[in-house]
A and B are shown apart, each in its own frame.
Chain A
Amino acid sequence: MKNPISQLNKVFDSRVRLGIMSALLVNEDVNFNQLKELTEVTDGNLASHIKTLELNGYIKVKKGFIGRKTNTTYMATTAGEKAFRAHLDGLEKMIQNMK
């Protein structure tokens, strides 16, 4: 039997990254402050998690402006969506195996 753990993605091990991907999957785009409210972590912490996801090609960053203030929004890439869905499938299989 194939071990379902092998389907789990190391990148999504952290709760913060999981939260970011969850939000990006159901919203077209989400900005930094919204992610901060959702994940309840500090700016620096959140930024480093975003960086990891970005380096893996799972999210893309769009810099824009609201008036003169910068407004950075994040979107999930197709690869990111695929990877996250595979991760969810893996979790589901683990639950089925436990039963």
Chain B
Amino acid sequence: MYFKVLFMTRKTDPLNTLSDIKSMMEKSSRFLSLSGLSGIGMGIIALAAAFSANNIIKGASRFSKDGSYPSYPEYMTKSLLILAVATLIIALAVGLFFTIKKAKKLRLPLLDNTSRRMLINLFIPLLAGGIYLLKLLDIGYVELLTPSCLIFYGLALIHASKYTLGDIRYLGIIEIILGLFNLFWVSFGLWFWAIGFGLAHIMYGMILWNKYDKVD
């Protein structure tokens, strides 16, 4: 017995060893630099975008003859598209900014196997969704734009969650549920979009920040 105790304290502390193993497994297979602040920033931008989209739609319906849904005037579709692209670019930039910051802090490489795998797995459903959305827009099924947006984004998050912080999975489920509900209340599309991309991101960003980033 004495020998065993001596042996253990000197050579192997199994608890330390196990946590060491766990951290190395995660470090080598998951992209851990995702920042909670990215989520909060992207959520705020999404809310601002939903607010401006609402203004554009309101402004346009004043000029259309009856203002009925979904007979949008041409210029409105155009300005909404520009808004959508601008939102995407700004949101990606903000998300990237905080993630780069966190990667530097954790002293983890930004571009390696883990980030590459996460991005590939995130963008497969996203790209398919993007093309699908363009086609919807093309044939004029505007009511389906926001539910499809939410559902594809949710699927992408669930798909990517195996390669980054696992919590993202639940955000994906929330987005899908919102998207499905949106299918049955299509006239509230902008509201669902604002909740899914705005509020859910902010809420999730706070949870992630609280869980992973707050220390020191």
Q: Which residues of A contact B (CB under 8 A)?
A: 3, 5, 8, 13, 15, 18-19, 22-23, 25-27, 30, 34, 37-38, 88, 91-92, 94-95, 98
Are the C-beta atoms of B109 and A37 separated by less than 8 Å? yes
Question: B21 touches which one: A13, A22, A30, A94 (CB < 8 A)?
Answer: A22
User: Is B51 part of the binding interface, using a Cβ–Cβ cutoff of 8 Å?
Assistant: no
Q: Which residues of A contact B112 (CB under 8 A)?
A: 34, 37
B83-120 interface with A by 8 A CB criterion = 109, 112-113
Q: Are A18 and B15 in contact (CB under 8 A)?
A: no
Measured CA separation A13–B112 after assembly (Å): 28
A26 & B28 in contact (Cβ 8 Å cutoff):
yes
Main secondary structure on chain A at its contact with chain B?
helix
Task: Indicate which residue in A5, A15, A95 contacts B18 across the interface (CB closer than 8 Å).
Answer: A95
Does the CB pair B18–A34 fall under 8 Å?
no
Top 6 nearest A-B pairs (CB, nearest first) are: A23-B28, A22-B24, A91-B14, A26-B29, A94-B14, A22-B25
Option from A3, A8, A22, A91 in Cβ contact (under 8 Å) with B28? A22
Q: Is the CB of A88 within 8 A of B12?
A: no
Is residue B215 contacting chain A, with contact meaning CB distance below 8 A?
no
Q: Which residue of B lies closest to A4 (CB)?
A: B14
Q: Is the CB of A38 within 8 A of B17?
A: no
Residues of B contacting A30 with CB < 8 Å?
28, 113
| B7, closest chain A residue (CB) | A5
A15 to B19, CA, bound (A): 12
A13–B11 CB distance below 8 A:
yes
Question: B24 touching A23 by the CB < 8 A rule?
Answer: yes
Distance, CA A80 to CA B17, complexed state (A): 18
Q: Does B139 contact A (CB under 8 A)?
A: no
In the complex, chain B residues whose CB is within 8 Å of the CB of A18: 17, 20-21, 24
- Would you call B28 and A34 a contact (CB within 8 A)? yes
B107-140 toward A: CB 8 Å interface, digit per residue (1/0)?
0010011000000000000000000000000000
Contacts of A95 in B (CB 8 A): 14-15, 18
Please tell me if the beta carbons of A25 and B15 are within 8 angstroms of each other in the complex. no
